Amino acid sequence: MELLESPIRKYAWGSLTAIATLQGRPAPTAEPEAELWMGAHPASPSRLAVSGTSLVDAIAADPVGLLGAPGVERFGPRLPFLLKVLAAAQPLSLQAHPTLAQAREAHAAGHPSYVDAWHKPEMLVALTDFDALCGFRDPAATAADLAALGVAGLEETVGALRQDDKAAALHDAVRGLLGKPDTRLVEEVVAACAARGGAYSLAPALAEQYPGDAGVIVAMLLNRVRLRQGEAVWMPAGNLHAYLRGVGVEIMAASDNVLRGGLTPKHVDVEELLRVLRFEVLDDPVTRPIDLAPGLVTWPVPVPDFTLHRAVVDPARDGTAAVRLPGGGPRIVLCVRGAVRVDDGVVPVTLVAGQAAFAPATRGELAVSGEGDVFQAATP
């Protein structure tokens, strides 16, 4: 295994404390730190700590040795996933991602909203209590909530949401709100929500950062999710979502294809967003861990680009001296608590919280010992 030096992305919505505290650095930091990237993304690749070589260059020099022949055949000479620690102190934009077929077709056609030919399904596992928006609520319930505000300008949206065809109801409501954004309507809705408080607190909170943004109302069409530590949200292609606040481990297919739906100063491509969105009700947005063995859990996802496992070793608490992580394909192991030894049978490494290491596809199962908590990102 090889220790990684991984970059931190600094965005305005990031935390001044979370990533620094995880890594044992002084906090608060001078600038918000939003994401710790572990992988081979060309914009901010991890580096092999001993040689200083970027993981992108290392893979280019020996793709089969690092990724395995099956991986190169399926995904090309590229690491198909990106692992992150995400620390949100403020809400992120509403967004969705295309299917693989949609991405390939649109990128080949030169569509400006597509920067590559890959899909970008994502999953986030909460390290702290985590607030998010994920998937559409039942439109009839949203219609009742909006109607109760008594805002005259919402009549068209409420009428659209009351259609018997739920997919059409959601489509028409989103199109109406984003296709002709109305700053005054947003302000009226925010004022009405603020007067009611309680369950209506989301809109005023979002409007503090994004005043007049139509996404403030679109957000009310989505499920408000409050994750506890270890719970996850899964965002397949077409799922409209946004992170609001909290710290989590995020894994995604390696792509930059994002269709935004509001809560952003960036361009919102309404027509393309409407084309890729899945207008279906998501009754339960929360994905819960599945126990595989003592100290080992996973969150199954129906994509070939990545898997995520979590191993907890704590001999004093439960007698777990070691946990074996599944083998196969290239892997990145991230420690989020304690100090652990990760043994690949060739070159073991010791990780403390906030450190990560890379195992090439040629290595077998990884044995984790010590006392701590790790995540493994891999291909199935």
Q: Please list, residue by residue across 17-49, b when 16 or more beta carbons sit within 10 angstroms of its beta carbon and e when fewer do.
A: bbbbbbbeeeeebeebbbbbbbbbbeebbbbbb
Q: Which of 350-368 are b and which e, b meaning 16 or more Cβ less than 10 Å from the residue's Cβ?
A: ebebbbbbbbbbebeebbb
Q: Of 260, 310, 331, 363, which one is the catalytic site residue? A: 260
- Please give the radius of gyration of the chain, using alpha carbons only, rounded to the nearest integer: 22
Contacts of 271 (CB under 8 A, 6+ apart): none
Our answer to whether residue 260 is catalytic in this structure is yes
Active-site amino acid positions: 260
